[in-house]
Amino acid sequence: MEDLTQEEWAEQLANDDNAVVLDVRTDGEVADGIIPNAIHIDIYKGQGFVYALEELDKSKNYYVYCRSGNRSGQACNIMQQLGFDNTYNLEGGILEWEGDLVDLE
């Protein structure tokens, strides 16, 4: 896992053809907006979260975020235990995100 600043995360993501953006917030938090093209898997789903991760392609690079950067760091650690080699945590989470957000509604 690598912790990236907002600027590093956005720049690396923009130049990564093998990138997947992963939002690990709750449904209620996601209702406030999500980074474009992100997939949402709530880390609070417990074993369901692990099952959902196991369905993902481990060869991809995962850019993971939550509200503040704490849960996404935990998610990156879980992903590494499951065999994901390239996970990038967004420091400061979506609270500090200055890029675009989309409404899911």
Structure confidence by residue, pLDDT tens digits, 54-79: 999 999 999 999 999 999 999 999 99
1, 21, 24, 66: which one is catalytic?
Answer: 66
Contacts of 34 (CB under 8 A, 6+ apart): 23, 40, 101, 102, 104
Is 102 inside a domain boundary? no
Output the pTM of the full model.
0.95
pLDDT in the model for residue 90:
97
pLDDT greater than 80 at residue 23: yes
pLDDT in the model for residue 40:
97
Number of domains making up the chain:
1
Query: Does 66 qualify as catalytic in the annotation?
Result: yes
The domain in which residue 57 lies consists of: 2-96
pLDDT in the model for residue 50:
97
Is 21 inside a domain boundary? yes
pLDDT greater than 90 at residue 103: no
Is 67 inside a domain boundary? yes
- Give kind and range of the element (H or E) at residue 46: none
The count of residues in the chain is 105
Main-chain dihedrals φ then ψ at residue 10, nearest 5 degrees: -65, -40
CATH code, domain with 59: 3.40.250.10
Is 103 inside a domain boundary? no
- DSSP letter at 83 equals T
pLDDT in the model for residue 87:
98
